Structure 1
Amino acid sequence: MKNHKGKNAIWLILIFVIYNLLPILFHIGTPFTFTPFLIVTFIIYYACNIIWIPILFRNHIELYSDHFIFYYGFQKETIKLQDIIKIEKSRNAIASSANSLDRIHIITKQKDFYVSLKDNDDFIQEIDVRLRGQ
């Protein structure tokens, strides 16, 4: 098994940081009183981090001899190598499970999806080697 770490683009990290600082920045220089409405608003606003944080930190692929497991946020998906029809680098900006525009487009018999890894070329090469060996 080989672990391929996911890639988070700097723009995505900046969006996360700005998102979390924005309410605080709006209140700089103004009196800050905690009303029940403000507390509930902050709780709802920051509850979105329940989705953001796993996407930023649980983003990797475990590659085995005949399949790989893709972890992304709360998702976990097993892809059999024999089901891969096409794998290629892409810079398509379509919304997907890729945290960077430096992506890999994977087309399988069941679906197609995008992933972003720190070393896309290494992953593609390893998939090609395994597919040729089958």
Structure 2
Amino acid sequence: MTTSDTESRHLSIHVERPAREVYDYASDPSHLPEWAAGLGRSIEETDGRWIADSPMGRVVVDFAPRNDYGVLDHHVTLPSGETVYNPVRVIADDTGCEVVFTLRRRPDVSAEEFRRDEAAVSADLATLKRIAERD
């Protein structure tokens, strides 16, 4: 698989909370273990970097700087040293918002693994929705 034929899925969920509230919560790396189980069960800031204990081992998570556009893009550096770019947006929609995660299939990922990744991201988005809407 080459870069030109990389497969992507745009996974989204509608959240009945203002976009700014959802963005403020989701952009705080300390909240990741609460809603992004696929990324890790714990996270800590060490020397200005966020390190998560993920199912793949310890990973470094670098978020885009806070912004007014709802951009939650982040890079995840895997134990192998490979860095995976994850585009994420929180988009205002009347009184609620839509959270969109673009899942890209890496060349070394099988179709079955990609389906599992898709299911994990969808579950994480559903958890984010549940947390955001419970208050």
Q: Which structure's residues are more often helix, by fraction? A: 1
Bin the TM-score by the shorter chain: under 0.3
TM-score normalised by length of structure 1: 0.28
Q: Which has the higher contact order (CA 8 A, sep 6+)?
A: 2
Q: Which structure's residues are more often strand, by fraction? A: 2
TM-score normalised by length of structure 2: 0.28
Bigger radius of gyration among the two: 1
